[in-house]
A and B are shown apart, each in its own frame.
Chain A
């Protein structure tokens, strides 16, 4: 009863907002010596349950509403080539030349992943990257493969490869002289996805490398070849169907990365605001209560929110 005082024989609240009991959902109660109701342990239990439900919902929504969630992207082969060569030039390495045969092998690898619903260098049936390269008649001395999925733009893809030691090894390998790309849209694990396959090679013999090289023409051909392949969303709750159709773009209704990031940021900010109110009100009105360190909670959650906001970009490399 610390903030009550007697006046004309009546007890009246010193703090005028106390008469609005609803406010104690957001502010600590001076008499009870506890946090706001929305920061109580039972509220935290509810938050944890809601977050778990959101994780389950976002991971399983594609089964009930295919095509609703996915990853929207704006990746093109020319930018991938320019960015890759830029990274190599920084280290004084030779530029890689786009090779349509390697690009075709990359495209087939992407299609194979969609058709068989996997995300790996080696397919569940044992097919290896070299099988696609050799299958296209590309005889090599050195060859390599980088994969990426769910990125929003070309720069992020190359940056992700560059920041991963094993992929950087491929990106900056001086043995390679040629490169092929595939950027293919489709449905993987139920999500609209853009897969990027990068294949490196050094052809055996000079014959293949000595051909007339028209980068723009090859790029145009490769882009056209990629655009002609779209893996259609499954009509039923079966494995994704594969279809060859005219140039088209598969875009989800909602970008899953933005949805999850948005929800996560909103939720975290909501708890931080509540903790901030708790900190301010406790200091201002000298509320006595035993609980965790509010300032430490705010610091920890702020670090988490900043990390999610700035660093957790969508996409993964393999």
Chain B
């Protein structure tokens, strides 16, 4: 598999993941517990996607992993702020 094919596949996985994330939020929009769970799973999925993406590109660094973790935590907290405040 060429590098561009790998990239295409990875972006496809990300788009499908995001789509599933969005559909789940629509479906469970009145269930606060489910929304919390979905936002946690969405964040975990994104961290793993980022790590795999950078491993396949051969440029995984500690700072990059931390960046994905931080961004995912920010995304989760944005949800949490609306859900529980």
Residues of A within 8 A of B (CB): 41, 44-45, 47-48, 51-52, 54-55, 58-59, 160, 163-164, 256-257, 259-261, 263-264, 267-268, 271, 290-293, 296-297, 299-301, 303-308, 311-313, 315-317
Contact = CB atoms under 8 A, between A and B. Distances in A.
Ranked nearest first, the 8 interchain pairs of A and B with the lowest CB-CB distance are A58-B85, A44-B70, A260-B85, A51-B77, A292-B67, A160-B30, A264-B78, A264-B81
Contacts of B72: 300
B24 to A, nearest CB: 10
Contacts, number: 119
B12 interface: no
Given A44-B74, A299-B14, A307 B84 contact: no
Contact of B78 (A160, A267, A297): A267
B78 A163 contact: no
Interface of B: 11, 14-15, 18, 21-22, 25-26, 29-32, 35, 42, 46, 49-50, 53-54, 59, 61, 63-64, 66-68, 70-75, 77-85
Interface of B is mostly: helix
A161 B85 CA distance: 22
Given A51-B74, A55-B80, A304-B79, A41 B67 contact: yes
A259 B84 CA distance: 12
A260 B71 CA distance: 19
Contacts of A315: 30
B50 to A, nearest CB: 6
A303 B66 contact: no
